[in-house]
Amino acid sequence: MNVFVERETHLILWQRYAPTFLSVPKLLKIVGTNITIHKMFFFTLFIGLQIFLYGFPQYCKISKFQKLLDRLGITNGVKNKPRITEVKDEDFNRTKIVMANNGVGIKLFQNKQDDLEATFGEKIESITHDSNPGYTKIILSKYHWPKVVKFSSLSSFDLPKDHFILGQSSNGIVTQNINELPHMLIAGTTGSGKSILFKEILVSLLKSSPYLQLYLLDLKGGVEVQDFKDYPNATIVKDMKKAVFTLQLLKDEMDRRFAYLEKNGYREIQPLRDKMDKIVIAIDEASALYMKNFANQEASTLSKRAKELTDSLAKLARAAGIHLILATQKVTKETIDTHIQENISGKFCFKTNTLQGSVTVLGNGAAYSLPDIPGRGIWSLGNKLIEIQAPLITSAEIKEFGQQLVEEFKNGGRKMLQPKITLTQSQNENHLLPEGDVCTKKTRKIF
């Protein structure tokens, strides 16, 4: 019933709530001649009620947290206090507090994190700048983070096809479809959990992707990927020259697939339809492959070529069903070229030692604000930032799954849709050509 239009409605309301003040005939006259006044009255009452219902609880929340903040005595040089402007529940576990800094730097809030947690009575998930640098955003969390999440406890999780597990967040297990990335970067210092997550993602993908080939490039002697050596659908490359040859062969495979797509009028590779496996190129400690300052000219030329090939794959390989996963300790334009970084949409960054390190990878300081817990990191995809505890997978678990894969390939439960792409003897012995190419069409072979 529309109380702003219906004349009878006004009459009924006045009869019910104001019978002692005016007679019905007089009311009829008022309603008939001053309906606009009544419309304005009810509209004002309605809007006022809306403002009250929203604004009063917000006022109470802001007042509560402002009083708690004032207890800490945080001020700038002239005793101005930060003022809370917004308190909002992000979800069941997280509350966002936005405050005008009033000259108080974010570093002071970060240094006072323990005191803020004790005062607010909740764990602080992050302290970052808001979209306006004059404002600071604090995320409080009621979620009690585990310090260790074992892969064995997540292995029974029913992964959708072509998905992998990133870890545990305050909202549950986080997974990602590799087709939606299409490429990924993992950054983290020694001991942060970078190599463990790198291997866990590969195992997760193999669990959920029935038609998948892995090409593992590890220039540290293959130490980190040694657990995958018995996987029937994995190829391990341990030195610079073979790594560049492999990238060249995979680029050739990408070109071949694009020619196939164009010929058949398809938009992207579908493994079963096209009898082509999904390909993942996983490079551990990518900086060892892309460094500029090598001792000899041949290594420098190979490194330059590796960057060019990786850049081509990063730009174009998605439709061809080829994906890159790069892991490195430090991300700079010297270690991973800017052009390559621009084509990598998914980034997992463990805690950084400097604010600049976090900004370089994520575009913000979220990873710098993380607690110093191995396996804790920030997952960034588009505008989405999620704090995650990455799973801990052991060498024994990786080898055990490898044995399972061997059995599946033996009994026909799993198969490759095409032979692995490998190097011929002539390619292994090939030398750099004068123009800097590392392998010609005559020496490339896919079998």
Question: 125-129, 206-210, 351-355: lowest mean pLDDT where?
Answer: 125-129
Locate tokens 């409080």: which residue?
140
Inside any domain, residue 56: no
pLDDT band of residue 431 (cuts 50, 70, 90) is very low
User: Would 60 be classed as within a structural domain?
Assistant: no
Domain containing 301: what range? 149-429
User: What pLDDT is attached to residue 39?
Assistant: 66
Contact 229, 209 (CB under 8 A): no
Nearest to 290 by CA among 254, 259, 335, 223: 335
Distance of CA 341 to the CA centre of its chain: 14
Residue 443 in this model has a pLDDT that exceeds 60: no
Burial class (CB in 10 A: 0-12, 13-18, 19+), 205: buried
Q: Where are the beta strands (DSSP E) in 135-209?
A: 135-141, 149-150, 163-169, 172-177, 184-187
pLDDT digit string, tens, across residues 370-382: 888 899 999 999 8
Q: Final residue of a domain: which of 111, 141, 171?
A: 141
Task: Indicate whether 113 and 258 sit together in one domain.
Answer: no
CB atoms near residue 308 (< 10 Å):
17
Kindly indicate the confidence band of residue 103, based on its pLDDT and cuts at 50, 70 and 90: confident
Residue 145: pLDDT over 90: no
The phi, psi pair for 257, rounded to 5°, reads -70, -40
164 and 129, same structural domain? no
Q: Report the percent of the chain where pLDDT is more than 90.
A: 36
Q: Judge whether 293 lies within some domain.
A: yes
Query: Would you state the pLDDT for residue 429?
Result: 45
- Same domain, yes or no: 90 and 162: no
Q: Specify the CATH number for the domain of residue 209.
A: 3.40.50.300
Least reliable range by pLDDT among 3-7, 42-46, 337-341, 391-395: 3-7
- Quick one: 100 and 156 in the same domain? no
Mean per-residue pLDDT, 388-416 = 94
Q: Does 191 share its domain with 334?
A: yes
Say if residue 112 is in the same domain as residue 251: no
Same domain? For 121 and 265 the reply is no
Average per-residue pLDDT for the chain: 82
pLDDT at 281: 95
Does residue 286 contact residue 336 with C-beta atoms inside 8 Å? yes
pLDDT confidence tier of residue 236, bands split at 50, 70 and 90 = very high
Answer whether residue 54 is part of any domain.
no
Give domain status of residue 355, yes or no.
yes
Gap between the Cα atoms of 327 and 197, Å rounded:
9
Which among 145-154, 159-168, 329-338, 377-386 has the top mean pLDDT? 159-168
Q: What CA–CA distance (Å, rounded) separates 217 from 225? A: 8
Between CA 416 and CA 414 the distance in angstroms is 7
For 12, phi then psi, to 5°, come to -65, -45
Average pLDDT over residues 349-363: 88
4 pLDDT above the threshold of 60: no
Q: Is there a single domain that holds both residue 85 and residue 186?
A: no
Residue 366 pLDDT grade (very low, low, confident, very high; cuts 50, 70, 90): confident
Please report the DSSP string for 66-127 in residue order: HHHHHHTT---TT-PPPEEEEEEE-SSSEEEEEEE-TT--HHHHHHTHHHHHHHHTSEEEEE
The total number of structural domains in the chain stands at 2
Cβ proximity of 321 and 181 under 8 Å: no
**Residue 441 — very low, low, confident or very high, per pLDDT cuts 50/70/90?**
very low
Helix (H) or strand (E) run with residue 176 in it = strand 172-177
Asked if pLDDT for residue 440 goes beyond 60, the answer is no
Burial class (CB in 10 A: 0-12, 13-18, 19+), 99: buried
Tokens 């398809």 belong to which residue?
Answer: 266
Q: What is the pLDDT of residue 111?
A: 82
Alpha-carbon gap, residue 105 to 103, rounded angstroms: 6
CA 53 from centroid of its chain's CA atoms = 36
**pLDDT for residue 131 is more than 60:** yes
| CATH number reported for the structural domain that contains residue 76 in this entry | 3.30.70
Give the orientation angle of helix 113-120 with respect to helix 35-71, to 10 degrees: 120
Are residues 334 and 238 part of one domain? yes
pLDDT, residue 32, reads: 55
Q: Find which of 20-24, 53-57, 224-228 is predicted with most confidence, using mean pLDDT.
A: 224-228
Average confidence (pLDDT) over 159-187: 92
Residue 18, in any domain of the structure:
no
Among 141, 171, 202, give the residue marking a domain's end: 141
Same domain, 272 and 131: no
Name, in order, each residue with C-beta under 8 angstroms of 251's C-beta and a sequence gap of 6 or more: 309, 312, 313
Q: Which of residues 207 and 30 earns the better pLDDT score?
A: 207
Specify whether 134 is located in the same domain as 230: no
On whether both 413 and 314 belong to a single domain, the answer is yes
Query: Taking every pair of C-alpha atoms in the chain, what is the biggest distance, in angstroms?
Result: 108
Strands (DSSP E) contained in 204-342 are 212-218, 234-237, 278-284, 322-328
CA pair distance 239, 186, nearest whole angstrom: 21
Average pLDDT over residues 204-216: 94
